[in-house]
Amino acid sequence: MFITLAIITSCSQKKNAVVFQTDFGLKDGAVSEMKAIAFGIDSRLALYDLTHEIPVYNTWEAAYRLLQTAVYWPAGTVFVSVVDPGVGTMRRSVVMRSKTGHYFVTPDNGTLQFVATSLGIDEIREIDEKTNRRDNSSHSYTFHGRDVYAFTGARLAAGVISFEEVGRRLPDSVVSFSFQEPSLQGDSILGNIPVLDPQFGNIWTNIPDSLFKKLNLKVGEDVMVTILIDTSIMFQGTVPMVNTFGEVPQGTPLAYMNSLMNFSLAINEASFADSFKIASGPLWNVHISRSSKFNTFAPRP
């Protein structure tokens, strides 16, 4: 009886989740191959997708999507993020453990910047491919997502290896981008547009609600907005600050706090990004202040 119970307990022991993010899309079998490797290591692993629609090679957006979602997953979750334009080169392959107990398996190419800042770096280790690489894959140079990252992430989540067995410890720093941090300057706030809400074309900024409140601007009042790519103005005008889209007529621009409680822009039942040709990234910035009654704007040609 004791032996049977021990076997049942062992077989049903809960494993950490593995969450995959890539720029692969779902048109071929690449994502399925990564999951197959993880499943083959331990069929009890819970395998989930963050997204596989990161714009190709866009490590900046990969970094933000980890920031957007990681905090909602429990400690012990292993994120395997593969947006790797430098695959096969000398860029470092690492696992970062955050101070919140999450693990991030990825190339160190900017992908870790935001979670390193927001969750804190507890420790970083370089993946030792002599021991943490799929068998008989040493001559495959272009699919480290399957052969190194999915393999290592699954072994870590399943308890096949400890974090210390990933490889040698590295300094507590990661590759980073330069961008406009949210900043109060006089009676204005400067910030960045890290990503769009791609399904609806809404503009998400990195300006938190806590900083926006320093403008002393109430819901229903207008806010003056300027959006720039580098030094070129792409949008300028006043929009009402509202709680939700339906508070303005269809087709009307508006400002609101998104689900992460960051200042955002939208058009009710239309795409702000398409209407004004707005994108996102380190060079896309936003300037907001109390309305100066300047309320004319038009799409750029």
The per-residue pLDDT for range 229-243, each reduced to its tens digit, is: 999 999 999 999 999
Strands, DSSP E only, in the chain? 17-22, 46-51, 78-82, 93-98, 103-107, 121-126, 169-170, 183-185, 188-192, 195-197, 202-208, 222-229, 232-240, 253-257, 262-267, 284-290
Say yes or no to pLDDT of 11 above 90: no
Domain boundaries, the chain: 2-170, 183-290
Average pLDDT, the chain: 92
* pLDDT band at 260; cut points 50, 70, 90: very high
pTM of the model: 0.88
CATH topology for the 2-170 domain: Rossmann fold (3.40.50)
Say yes or no to pLDDT of 289 above 90: yes
pLDDT of residue 166: 98
pLDDT of residue 9: 42
- Residue that wins the pLDDT comparison between 143 and 158: 158
Say yes or no to pLDDT of 298 above 80: no
Total residue count of the chain as it appears in this document: 301
With H, G, I as helix, E, B as strand and everything else as coil, classify residue 77.
Answer: coil
pLDDT digits (tens, 9 = 90+) for 179-224: 999 999 999 999 999 999 999 999 999 999 999 999 998 899 999 9
- DSSP notation for 80-144: EEE--TTTTSSPPEEEEEETTS-EEEEESSSTTHHHHHHH-EEEEEE--TTTSS-TT-TT--S-H
CATH topology for the 183-290 domain: Elongation Factor Tu (Ef-tu); domain 3 (2.40.30)
pLDDT digits (tens, 9 = 90+) for 64-113: 999 999 999 999 999 999 999 988 788 899 999 999 999 999 999 999 99
pLDDT digits (tens, 9 = 90+) for 22-51: 999 999 999 999 999 999 999 999 999 999
